[in-house]
Structure 1
Amino acid sequence: MGWFYLLLAGVFEIAFTTAIRFTDGFTKVLPSALVLLLATISIYFVTKASTTMPLGTAYAAWGGFGALGTVAIGILYFGEPVTVWRMVFLSLLIISIIGLKLVTE
C-alpha cells in the first residue's frame, strides 16, 4: 500500500509544482492557495507511505516521481527543451526509483 500512497503523493507533487508556475511569485491568491492545498495533500500521502516503508525510500521516490512528472509537464505543455543529457539523467532517475522499489521490503 505504501507504493500506492507514494504514487498519489507524486501526482499531487506534480500538480503543486506545476501550479507554482501560475502564482507569479506567490502574489496571486488563488494559484498560491492551490499550491498550498496540493502540497499539503502530497505531504499527507508521503507521510502515509512512510508508515509502511523506510522514510528515506519514501522521500527519495516521492521526489523522483515529482521530478519526472514535472519535467514531463514542462516538456509537453510549456515547450521546455528535450535534450539528450536531460533524457539520460531522467532515465537514471527512473532506474533509481525502480531500484528502490526492488530493494524495499
Structure 2
Amino acid sequence: MAWVYLVVGGVLEVVWVFFMKESRGFTKPTPTLLTLVTMAASFALLSVSMRTLPLGTAYAVWTGIGAVGAFVVGVLAFNESASLLRVTAVAMIVGGLVLMKVASHAPLE
C-alpha cells in the first residue's frame, strides 16, 4: 500500500503545483485554497508512505512524479516548450524513478 500512497501523493503534488500557478501568486482565493488542500494531502500521503519505504526512495519518487507531471501539465495546459532536450531530461527522470523502484526491491549488499 505504501507505493499506492506514494504515487497518489506524487499525483497530488502535480495538482497543487497546477493550482499554485492558477492562483497567480496566491491572489485568487479558489486556486489558493485548492493549492493548500492538495498540498497538505500530498505531504500526508508522502509521510504515510515513509512508514515503510526508505526516506531516499520515497522522497525521490515523490518529487520525480511531481517534476515529470509538472512538465507534462506545463506543456499541455500552459503551452510550455517540449523541446527535444527537455523531453530527454524528463525521460532521464523517469528512468531514475524506475531504477529507484527496482533498487528498493534489490537484496541488501
TM-score (norm: length of structure 2): 0.92
Structure 2 equivalent of residue 86 of structure 1: 86
Identity over aligned residues, as a percent?
Answer: 32
Q: Aligned partners of 1:8 and 1:89: how far apart in 2?
A: 23
Instruction: Give yes or no for the alignment of 1:51 onto 2:48.
Output: no
- Provide the alpha-carbon RMSD of the alignment: 0.9
Q: Aligned partners of 1:25 and 1:52: how far apart in 2?
A: 36
Q: Aligned partners of 1:75 and 1:27: how far apart in 2?
A: 23
For residue 21 of structure 1, give the secondary structure of its aligned residue in structure 2: helix
Instruction: Give yes or no for the alignment of 1:5 onto 2:29.
Output: no
For residue 22 of structure 2, give the secondary structure of its aligned residue in structure 1: coil
Structure 1 equivalent of residue 29 of structure 2: 29
Q: Aligned partners of 2:62 and 2:29: how far apart in 1?
A: 27
Show structure 2 runs of 5+ residues with no match: none
How far has the Cα of 1:22 moved from its partner? 1.3
Count of aligned positions: 105
Runs of 4+ in structure 1 deviating by more than 3 angstroms, as ranges, are none
Q: Aligned partners of 2:63 and 2:89: how far apart in 1?
A: 14
How far has the Cα of 1:31 moved from its partner? 1.2
Show structure 1 runs of 5+ residues with no match: none
How far has the Cα of 1:86 moved from its partner? 0.3
TM-score (norm: length of structure 1): 0.95
- Superimposed CA distance per residue, residues 75-95 of structure 1 (whole angstroms, 9 cap, x where no aligned partner): 112111111110111011000
